[in-house]
Structure 1
Amino acid sequence: MYLILFSVFACLSTCHGVVEKDENQDHCDLLKQWLKSSSVSVELRKNGFHREVVTTVDLRPGGMRFVKVLLVHRWPRGVYVDPFQLASLSGQHNWQTLLDSAIDLEVPAHKTSGFVIYVYPSYDALPPTLLKVTVPIHGRYHEPSFVGEAFTSVDLEAPDLLLRTDNCTEVKSIMPHAAVDAPCTVNNLSTCQWFQIQCQKDLGPISLPIPVGDGSLEATICGSTLLVTIISCMALSKHMWKHRII
């Protein structure tokens, strides 16, 4: 009797393991299909120092309830984002952001470094086929040019699109897509393994022109400023002496 029960339990356990393995493989196959078919496009809007980078994610095919999406923006030191502005926008849109470091809004470009933003789209049910994320960026002040150039260029790379699912953790099943470690959620409490879509050959960097000062005028501007300051001080001193202002 005990031998029969043991055999039954062993058979059920084996069947459950096979079914679970098949389900995980199905999820891996679907995730790999998403990684192969999905794409990213980027558009730069507005003019001057204050711009908007609009990222459109085309998720194909639709209907994958279990997939999670992450955009990783790697920004150069020539631009910055306002964390308070991002926080206010996150409350108005279906995405949240996580910064990898503190942002100093006042530092010029040559005294700061690049940074990373993790963008987590949120949705209640199925993820939409098209996701749009608009990130406002601002140009930093650059060192003046001593060769007569009025503008400098900052190259903005397209964000990395990362996907993952809790039901597929086998890296070999997702090859040749690279596995990347990134925060699981916007709360940054733990790190998960995400998978990156392959690079799109037609998706190059966007050039952002930023005006710079003319370094050749430095001596003229400094001399003029000093002269105006001296004349103003002399005129103010004469006025105070004339009217006995102490």
Structure 2
Amino acid sequence: MAARAVARLLLWAAGLVGWLAADFSDVPNGAGIRATCSDIILRQEFLKDGFHRDLLIKVKFGESIEGLQTCRLLIKHYIPTGLYVDPYELASLREKNITEAVMVSESFNIEAPNYLSKESEVLIYARQDAQCIDCFQAFLPVHYRYHRPHRKDGHTLIVVNNPDLLMYCDEEFPVLKCWAQSEVAAPCALKSEDICQWNNMKYKSILKNLTLQVPVGLTIHTSLVCSVTLLITVLCSTLILVAVFKYGHFSL
């Protein structure tokens, strides 16, 4: 009797194992991985005050990924018409190894006001944060453009949308499939002509969008401003002519 009971118990255990194996075999590939995925957190903020700001972007992975040092992070940012990035300033900062950013837009005028400008595109190669193993950060200087004067309100708002977050790894990490949405072709590195297929990553942003408040002129002040400007221009021109005739040396 004891032998029969043990045999029945073994058969019941084998059937239970087979049922569990068949049940898990029906689960789609990667479902177990996706269940353990944490979020990528992106935060962007403006530093300094005034018309010349620094845009700081920080990215943090929600869980530690071994071998993350083999990955590169590329931030594709769209600068609204109310702001501009100076390509000559970027070139200087790249030489000083302060940032790795490059303009993508070709026809670009830094002197144009916002109503005559177009949205520009910038690629920023993020760097790993020395104080955080699972963190990246990027830096981009931006400047306000001139805006049309308003009738009543002396301010206007500029909305800076969240960027695209692209990632490329030399090794394959199954956990990265949790965040990858599509592939985007972009240069492998700042000074490289090779094109890599970057993964467009899904992330969570601390802020939905950044909003900047820019002071603008009032239309009721147009006559006053034009009159004062004309008066100062005439006065300065007169002083210059007086100085030229008084201290200048003329020869026929």
Once the 2 structures are TM-superposed, how far is the Cα of residue 152 of structure 1 from its aligned partner? 0.6
- The answer to whether the 8 Å contact 1:178/1:196 transfers is yes
- The answer to whether the 8 Å contact 2:114/2:146 transfers is yes
Q: 1:175 to 1:222 in 2, by over 3 A?
A: closer
Secondary structure of residue in 1 paired with 2:186: strand
> What residue number does 1:121 align with?
126
Q: 1:66 to 1:132 in 2, by over 3 A?
A: closer
Cα deviation 1:161-218 (Å, max 9, x = unaligned): 11123556xxxx6786233333333246354322222242653111111111111222
The match for 2:111 among 106, 109, 124 is 106
What letter corresponds to residue 78 of structure 2 in structure 1?
A: R
Once the 2 structures are TM-superposed, how far is the Cα of residue 62 of structure 1 from its aligned partner? 3.3
What letter corresponds to residue 52 of structure 1 in structure 2?
A: D
Q: How does 1:8-87 map to 2 (within 5 A)?
A: 37-59=39-61, 60-64=63-67, 65-87=69-91
CA RMSD, Structure 1 to Structure 2 (Å): 4.0
Distance 1:67 1:231 in 2: 62
> What residue number does 2:199 align with?
195
Distance 1:200 1:235 in 2: 61
> What residue number does 2:219 align with?
215
- The answer to whether the 8 Å contact 2:186/2:196 transfers is yes
Unaligned stretches of 5+ in structure 2?
1-29, 242-252
How many residue pairs match? The answer is 208
Unaligned stretches of 5+ in structure 1?
1-27, 238-246
What letter corresponds to residue 41 of structure 1 in structure 2?
A: R
- Structure with greater Cα Rg: 2
What letter corresponds to residue 222 of structure 1 in structure 2?
A: C
The match for 1:88 among 84, 87, 92 is 92
Distance 2:170 2:36 in 1: 15
> What residue number does 1:132 align with?
137
Once the 2 structures are TM-superposed, how far is the Cα of residue 158 of structure 1 from its aligned partner? 2.5
Distance 1:195 1:35 in 2: 16
Distance 1:53 1:175 in 2: 24
Distance 2:213 2:39 in 1: 33
Residue identity over aligned pairs, in percent, reads 26
- The answer to whether the 8 Å contact 2:179/2:203 transfers is no
Once the 2 structures are TM-superposed, how far is the Cα of residue 46 of structure 1 from its aligned partner? 1.3
Q: 1:223 to 1:194 in 2, by over 3 A?
A: same
Distance 1:120 1:234 in 2: 53
Once the 2 structures are TM-superposed, how far is the Cα of residue 58 of structure 1 from its aligned partner? 1.0
Q: 1:41 to 1:231 in 2, by over 3 A?
A: closer
Distance 1:236 1:131 in 2: 55
Secondary structure of residue in 2 paired with 1:177: strand
